[in-house]
Structure 1
Amino acid sequence: MSSQPPHPALLIPGPIEFDDAVLQSMSHYSESHVGAPFVSTFGDVLSNLRKLFQTTDPASQPFVLSGSGTLGWDQVAANLTEPGDEALVLHTGYFADSFADCFETYGVKATQLKAAIGDRPQLDEVEQALREKKYKVLTVTHVDTSTGVLSEVKALSELVHRVSPDTLVVVDGVCSVGGEEIKFDEWKLDVVLTATQKAIGCPAGLSVLMASGRAIEVFKARKTRPNSYFGSWKNWLPIMQNYEAKKASYFATPSPQLIHALDTALKQILSRPLDQRFADHRNASQKVKKAIADLGLKQLATKPENQANTMTAIVLPEGVTPPDVVPSLLKKGVVFAGGLHKEIASKYIRLGHMGVSVTDPNRGDLTKAIDALRESLAEVGKA
Structure 2
Amino acid sequence: MFRLARPLCSSVIRRMSTAEFKQAPHKLLVIPGPIEVSDEVLYANAHPSMSHVSPDFIPIFGDCLRMTRTVVDTTDGQPFLIAGSGTLGWDQVAANLIEPGENALVLHSGYFGDSFTDCLETYGAKVDQIKAEIGAAVGQDAVEAALKQKKYKLLTFTHVDTSTAVLSDAKAIAATVRRVSPETLVVLDGVCSVASEEIHMDAWDIDVILTASQKGLGTPPGLSVLVASKRAMQVFESRKSRPASYYASWKNWLPIMRAYESNQAAYFATPPVNLIYAYHASLTSITKSPSISLAERYALHREVSQRVKAAAKELGIKQLPLRDSEAANGMTALYYPDGLAAGDILPRLVKKGVVVAGGLHKSIKDQYFRIGHMGITAVEKERQDVDKVVQSLKETLEEARAEKK
CA distance in 2, matches of 1:81, 1:353: 35
Match of 2:47 in 1: 28
Match of 1:19 in 2: 38
In structure 1, what residue type is equivalent to 2:181?
Answer: S
In structure 1, what residue type is equivalent to 2:224?
Answer: S
Comparing 47-56 and 315-324, the one that deviates more: 315-324
Local SS of the residue matching 1:283: helix
1:74 has 2:91 as partner: yes
Match of 1:350 in 2: 370
Which residue, out of 384, 389, 397, partners 1:364? 384
Match of 1:274 in 2: 294
In structure 1, what residue type is equivalent to 2:306?
Answer: Q
Match of 1:144 in 2: 161
Post-superposition shift, 1:196? 0.5
Within a 5 Å distance, the mapping from 1:107-186 to structure 2 comes to: 107-186=124-203
CA distance in 1, matches of 2:184, 2:340: 44
Post-superposition shift, 1:302? 2.1
Comparing 372-381 and 98-107, the one that deviates more: 372-381
Question: What residue ranges of structure 2 are gaps of 5+ in the alignment?
Answer: 1-18
In structure 1, what residue type is equivalent to 2:90?
Answer: W
CA distance in 2, matches of 1:196, 1:319: 37
1:224 has 2:244 as partner: no
Moved over 3 A (4+): none
Local SS of the residue matching 1:186: helix
In structure 1, what residue type is equivalent to 2:123?
Answer: Y
Comparing 174-183 and 311-320, the one that deviates more: 311-320
Match of 2:214 in 1: 197
CA distance in 2, matches of 1:380, 1:261: 40
Match of 1:328 in 2: 348
CA distance in 2, matches of 1:161, 1:365: 41
1:90 has 2:126 as partner: no
Match of 2:279 in 1: 262
CA distance in 2, matches of 1:300, 1:121: 15
Percent of aligned pairs sharing the same letter = 56
CA distance in 2, matches of 1:340, 1:324: 18
TM (norm. structure 1) is: 0.98
Question: What residue ranges of structure 1 are gaps of 5+ in the alignment?
Answer: none
CA distance in 2, matches of 1:146, 1:323: 19
Post-superposition shift, 1:109? 1.1
In structure 2, what residue type is equivalent to 1:54?
Answer: D
Post-superposition shift, 1:204? 0.3
CA distance in 1, matches of 2:401, 2:150: 52
Checking the alignment, whether the CA contact within 8 Å between 1:320 and 1:347 is kept in structure 2 is no
Report Cα offsets for 1:149-168 as digits up to 9, x if no partner: 00000011011001001100
Match of 2:11 in 1: none
Match of 2:10 in 1: none
Number of residue pairs matched by the alignment: 381
In structure 2, what residue type is equivalent to 1:279?
Answer: A
CA distance in 1, matches of 2:351, 2:329: 26
Comparing 172-181 and 363-372, the one that deviates more: 363-372
1:251 has 2:235 as partner: no
TM (norm. structure 2) is: 0.93
Post-superposition shift, 1:273? 1.4
Checking the alignment, whether the CA contact within 8 Å between 1:322 and 1:339 is kept in structure 2 is no
Post-superposition shift, 1:56? 1.1
In structure 2, what residue type is equivalent to 1:292?
Answer: A
CA distance in 1, matches of 2:270, 2:339: 50
Report Cα offsets for 1:137-185 as digits up to 9, x if no partner: 1001000000000000001101100100110000000000000010011
1:339 has 2:356 as partner: no
Match of 2:121 in 1: 104
Match of 1:316 in 2: 336
Post-superposition shift, 1:7? 0.7
Report Cα offsets for 1:319-349 as digits up to 9, x if no partner: 3222221011000010010000000011000
Local SS of the residue matching 2:24: coil
In structure 1, what residue type is equivalent to 2:367?
Answer: K
CA distance in 2, matches of 1:173, 1:61: 16
Match of 1:38 in 2: 57
In structure 1, what residue type is equivalent to 2:121?
Answer: E
